[in-house]
Amino acid sequence: MVKMKNDKDMISPPEKTPTIRVVPLPADTNAYGDIFGGWLLSQMDLAGASVATEITRRRVVTVGVEGMNFHKPVFVGDEVSFYTDIKRKGRTSIAVHIEAWARARTEDQSRMVTEGVFTFVSIDENRKPLELPKT
């Protein structure tokens, strides 16, 4: 069971550099004009894969997503920062907790919009799981 953040933890973003920072555009909206959940998921997947690949230095694939929470909406033009934190390294897999924080470009305050734990598996050229490098 993944322990998610409570309201107290959602006041300010992590004090570190985000893995990626992206601005969603009108093409990323759903039928109601808010940013599509699938856009957020794909950005989280990209951020998580990036940090997992720093460890494996080999191709990774996403094998599972846990505890995905959409806390607040995201709007066109927000600056969205994706912060990653390695939660667990297994034999062939790496679990990454990912938080997305959005900020309206004219404001100072950020809000936590989504979080989830994405698990990536290192694979070889035959798409078979590959042991993580020893550190």
- For ligand COA, the binding residues (CB under 6 A) are 61-64, 90-93, 119, 121, 123, 127, 129
Using the minimum distance from each CB to ligand COA, give the nearer residue, 84 or 92: 92
Using the minimum distance from each CB to ligand COA, give the nearer residue, 33 or 90: 90
88 contacts 95 by C-beta, under 8 angstroms: yes
DSSP for residue 42: H
Shortest distance, position 4 Cβ to ligand COA, whole Å: 17
Using the minimum distance from each CB to ligand COA, give the nearer residue, 50 or 62: 62
115 contacts 100 by C-beta, under 8 angstroms: yes
Amino acid at 30: N
Using the minimum distance from each CB to ligand COA, give the nearer residue, 87 or 103: 87
Shortest distance, position 94 Cβ to ligand COA, whole Å: 8
Q: Which two tokens stand for residue 78?
A: 């927000």
CA dihedral for 12, 39, 41, 46, sign (positive or negative): negative
**How remote is the C-alpha of 99 from its chain's centroid?**
6
Shortest distance, position 36 Cβ to ligand COA, whole Å: 18
